Amino acid sequence: MIPPIASRFVAGTTASGALDHVTDCNADGMGAIVNLLGEHYHDPEPAAADADTYCHLVSELAARNLDGCVSVKPSQIGIDIGPDVFESNFERIVEIAADEDVFVWCDMEDYTTTDTTLDVVEAAAQDHPHGVGIAIQANLKRTREDLQRLVDVPAAVRLVKGAYDEPPSVAYETKAEVNEAYEDHLEFLFREFDRGVAVGSHDPAMLEHATDLHEEYGTPFEIQMLMGVREDAQRELARKGYEVNQYIPYGDKWLQYFYRRVRERKENALFALRAVVGV
């Protein structure tokens, strides 16, 4: 059981709880991106078990006719064990998802995994054009080259600022630098990716920039935000006609994820404190 305090950010511990939350999002005019919490498995068994769960999830999303897809972490399905383990688990999920017409996103983890993640997602995209997408991090200095590489790959791109503490040799250090890079990369995406862009950010400035770029280039875009973060804005944007997809984590490994959300923002920490002391 997840305590009420964490249920703002995590949709329960079971797939059925997550699917109920997808149904609620759909009722509010939003799509959903379901993520089973889990990362850094060093044994093949849990990696294969989570891949199995994703296969089950995509079948359930299709069976219930929900507007939803999944997002998988590389280290959850074997990248720490070896690229071949990651690749075969990812392929297995993508095959079933393609049969069910469900989209598969691949999250991006720290910079040591970027090359392998790109290779595996690119191979899956060649086998299943427009069935997969990849998160790309604006804080990494290499990102423009990665986006250039992806121009001709039939995969979607979700641009995020980047959630990992990276060494200064590979990543921008200040918020201002990351924001500037994010805006530059968005411009590149709207110009070069006429198939569409996913804007993975809660930042009103980035969303405004995306709207301006859409007006300039006509490129379609979707907004992706996390469950529990700016939920009112998510619903308001959906009401205004924007395509909004909520990223919905679930599973019994919720504590670490919840802790991350609380740590990253003063308001979230206050929310947690209020829930504990009851004010």
Name the residues annotated as catalytic: 107, 158
Cβ burial of 202 (10 Å; 0-12, 13-18, 19+) is middle
Backbone phi, psi, residue 2, to 5°: -90, 130
Give exposure, 120-138, as e/b (b: 16+ Cβ within 10 Å): bbbbbbeebeebbbbbbbb
Specify which residues 198 forms β-bridges with: 158, 222
Told to check if 40 binds ligand FAD by CB under 6 A, we report: no
| Binder among 9, 117, 147, 161 for ligand FAD (CB under 6 A) | 161
Site for ligand FAD contains 108 (CB under 6 A): yes
**In this structure, what token pair is assigned to residue 49?**
């078990």
Helix or strand run (H / E) with residue 267: helix 266-277
180 lies in the binding site for ligand FAD (CB under 6 A): no
Distance in Å, CB of 28 to ligand FAD, minimum: 16
The site map against ligand FAD for 72-101 (x = CB under 6 A) is ------------------------------
Q: Which stretch binds ligand FAD (CB under 6 A): 4-12, 15-23, 161-169, 269-277?
A: 161-169
Query: In terms of Cα–Cα distance, which of 161, 110, 178, 103 is closest to 133?
Result: 103
- The smaller minimum CB distance to ligand FAD, of residues 9 and 193, is found at 9
**Binding pattern to ligand FAD, positions 189-218, x when CB under 6 A?**
-----------xxxxx-x------------
Three-class HEC string of 110-132? CHHHHHHHHHHHHHHHHHCCCCE
Looking at 90-98, 116-124, 226-234, 248-256, which segment touches ligand FAD (CB under 6 A)?
Answer: 226-234
**Minimum distance from CB of 13 to ligand FAD (Å)?**
21
- Whether residue 161 contacts residue 137, with contact meaning beta carbons closer than 8 Å, is answered with yes
Q: Binding segment for ligand FAD among 16-24, 123-131, 160-168, 214-222 (CB under 6 A)?
A: 160-168
CA 118, CA 116: separation in Å to the nearest integer? 5
The nearest distance, CB 251 to ligand FAD, in angstroms, is 16
By CB under 6 A, name the binding residues for ligand FAD. 107-108, 135, 137, 160-164, 200-204, 206, 224-226, 229-230, 247, 265, 267-268
